[in-house]
Structure 1
Amino acid sequence: MGSRVLTVAQDGSGDFKTVQEAIGAVPLGNTCRTVIRVSPGVYKQPVYIPKTKNFITLAGFRPEITVLTWHNTASSISHHEGSRVIGTGTFGCGSSIVEGEDFIAENITFENSAPKGSGQAVALRVTADRCAFYNCRFLGWQDTLYLHYGKQYLKDCYIEGSVDFIFGNSTALLEHCHIHCKSAGFITAQSRKSSQETTGYIFLRCVITGNGETAYTCLGRPWGPFGRVVYAYTYMDACIKHCGWDNWGKTENERCACFYEYRCFGPGSCSSKRVTWARDLLEEEAEQFIMHSFIDPDPERPWLAQRMALRIPYSA
């Protein structure tokens, strides 16, 4: 499978001036990897990758200088696609929306520039299987990163926000990522609906930082009653409340939410003071979560190592 390369530059020196124009040039139902190289710049327009366009790579040079940004909120959406295509409310407000499978982004910032207090304002929604993000940044306040559906791998990424800023019901492994809590809220709102679903968010060797204040944010709350989140080998600074987790105002959620920690450290990791319905994993329990097989379960048809062949060690 060869790959083709398209270039985007705002000054006209590339094949296209906008990222969306480059996506438009990718053939429907494409089966070969298309790399869209994005020159440095702040690109102020919504980006939409439809279900019919798979195997797209967006590659910047450095995330700090290659920024895709827009300002939609759940209550105010301006987009080149209609609501029947992108949806409405929180679902439709992503500055960037990825629905094409086998998507990769590298060295890109995804931002929702709506100011604090704007309500739900998604920087990126991913509704696609087998997507990977390397050295990317996700900037926003509430609902920054919507990992909605499919399997995702995030490595060396920076994610910031306040309320429920990593949320949805995908199966995601976030490795070596920096999670920054800008103000009071909840890091995750994972929405697993039943014990049969294999979805969940795993934070492996991550770092959680805050704004200098103490005990103002929770590791997560269950958007779906069986919400599943694991933090393993992760540093937690003093911004994390001692209780750690929140039941979203429903005591019945405490019976089925799966909130776990494993060998975390730092001033925010106080296992003795955590809510009684969350717990530390035993070593044999943790194994299933801290391997890449959590998101790449079929050794006969691997997608992480084989298809992307990009800085993937054998085991997490």
Structure 2
Amino acid sequence: MSSSGGERREIIVAQNGNGDYKTVQEAIDSVPLRNTQRVIIRIGWGVYTQPIYIPKTKNLITLSGTNPERTTLSWNNTATSCRHHQGTEVIGTGTFACATVIVEGEDFIAENLTFENSAPQGSGQAVAIRVTADRCAFYNCRFLGWQDTAYLHYGRQYFRDCYIEGSVDFLFGNATVLLEHCHIHCKSKGFITAQQRKNADESTGYVFLRCVITGTGDTKPYMHLGRPWAPYARVVFAYSYIDCCIVPAGWNNWDNAENEKTACYYEYRCFGPGSDMKKRVPWARTLRPEEADHYMSTSFIDSQRTWINMQKFAPPSIPVPLSA
């Protein structure tokens, strides 16, 4: 482990043996319990095929690659077939346990990495990352999978300049999340979001700000923006490009008309062939300008923003405006 001043430490992971450790999990295991100092784990090029667990007793960890296309964290667990070095008493079972990377330590950062669940299409729930921690940030990362790619379970989370792909409910959970300048790619029929806000008093929800929503190129719409995993689900798409892959109705009630009375599904100044609000379900709506202000910055997740790096890493694959 190398030292960099008194405020952080660095660990090098390299599969060829030219670092402190050969696996990412070994590096995480070396971090002291109840860590109070930023630890940066720099990960060399390659595909690291292993489930990874960051426990709640290890905060302030950064996983840092050099290029998301050159450094991948990959595993193939599913909700019904889960192999892990931790027992069920630690990570749980089913969808909750099957993520390639499980983050439970607060103040986690990831940059320039790919998180992949390599289970093939049709495998059911197969999570690439589960985040059950507060103040977690992801910069210039890729998240690859099919169903349930990113389990945004709990806490305040920030994604910037990231690529996230999937089919069914591939961003789901009850975290408070801002996704800014991200590319959301819809691989097959399904739903982008399954947000889980349970009551009107919860501050949770997802905001997609200046993002790009793309599909496979099929001219027939096949994807919904979301469906409510819990009655008060809250999702906002603002200043975003929406491709023709999105069905005109936009949103789905998950076969429960009662959800239409409470779900909070909003759009604001989006553009592209899939953005026409005239054909949206009547229980989703356009935000008024005075309402939109609440969602248009990092203040949605934290008014202090001390843990959020505003540096822009890479442009999205399709240009989107910085303002209307």
Q: Are the counterparts in 2 of residues 130 and 303 from structure 1 also a CA contact under 8 Å?
A: no
TM-score where L is the length of structure 2: 0.93
Partner Cα separation in structure 1 for residue 212 and residue 76 of structure 2: 27
1:60 correspondence with 2:69:
no
Q: Give the match for residue 316 of structure 2.
A: none
> Which runs of structure 1 show a deviation greater than 3 angstroms over 4 or more consecutive aligned residues?
none
Deviation string, structure 1 residues 49-93 (Cα, Å, up to 9, x no partner)? 000000000000100010000000000000000011011000000
Distance 1:310 1:34 in 2: 20
Counterpart in the other structure of 1:17 = 22
- The within-5 A match list for 1:11-160 is 11-160=16-165
Deviation at 1:311, TM superposition (A): 1.5
Any residues of structure 2 matched to 1:195-214 within 5 Å, and which?
195-213=200-218, 214=220
1:10 deviates by 0.5
Instruction: Give me the whole-angstrom Cα distance separating, in 1, the residues matched to 2:16 and 2:86.
Output: 25
Q: State the 1:35 CA deviation.
A: 0.1
* Residue aligning to 1:293: 299
Distance 1:92 1:79 in 2: 9
Please state if 1:240 is matched with 2:246: yes
1:283 aligns with 2:289: yes
Structure 2: unaligned runs, 5 residues or longer: 1-5, 313-321
Q: Matched residues in 2 for 1:97 and 1:291: separation?
A: 27
Partner SS state of residue 252, structure 1? helix
State the match for 2:234 in structure 1: 228
Give the counterpart letter for 1:311 in structure 2: Q
TM-score, reference length from structure 1: 0.96
Counterpart for residue 6 of structure 1: 11
Give the match's secondary structure for 1:288. helix
Give the Cα–Cα distance (whole angstroms) in 2 for the partners of residues 217 and 303 of structure 1. Answer: 36
**Offset at residue 310 of structure 1 (A):** 5.4
Is 1:272 equivalent to 2:278 in the alignment?
A: yes
1:180 aligns with 2:185: yes
- Does the 8 A contact of 2:153 with 2:175 survive in 1? yes
Q: CA deviation at 1:303?
A: 3.0
User: Separation in 1 of the partners of 2:211 and 2:149?
Assistant: 18
Question: CA shift at 1:252, angstroms?
Answer: 0.2
RMSD across aligned C-alpha pairs, in angstroms?
A: 1.4
What is the alpha-carbon distance in structure 1 between the residues aligned to residue 306 and residue 173 of structure 2?
22
Instruction: Tell me the alpha carbon deviations over residues 155-194 of structure 1, each in whole angstroms, 9 at most, x when there is no partner.
Output: 0000000000000000000000000000000000000000
2:307 to 293, 304, 307: 304
Q: Distance in 1 between matches of 2:156 and 2:306?
A: 10
Letter in 1 for 2:227: R
- Cα separation, 2, equivalents of 1:210 and 1:259: 21
Report the secondary structure of 1:185's partner residue: strand
Helix, strand or coil at the partner of 2:159: strand
Counterpart in the other structure of 2:3: none
Secondary structure, aligned partner of 1:63? coil
Alpha-carbon distance in structure 1 between the residues aligned to 2:251 and 2:21: 46
Deviations 1:97-123 (A, max 9, x none): 000000000000000000000000000
Tell me the residue number matched to 1:218.
224
Q: CA deviation at 1:291?
A: 1.5
Counterpart residue identity of residue 241, structure 1: V
- The reply on whether 1:164 has 2:169 as its aligned counterpart is yes
Give the C-alpha shift of residue 270 in structure 1. 1.2
Shift of 1:304: 2.7
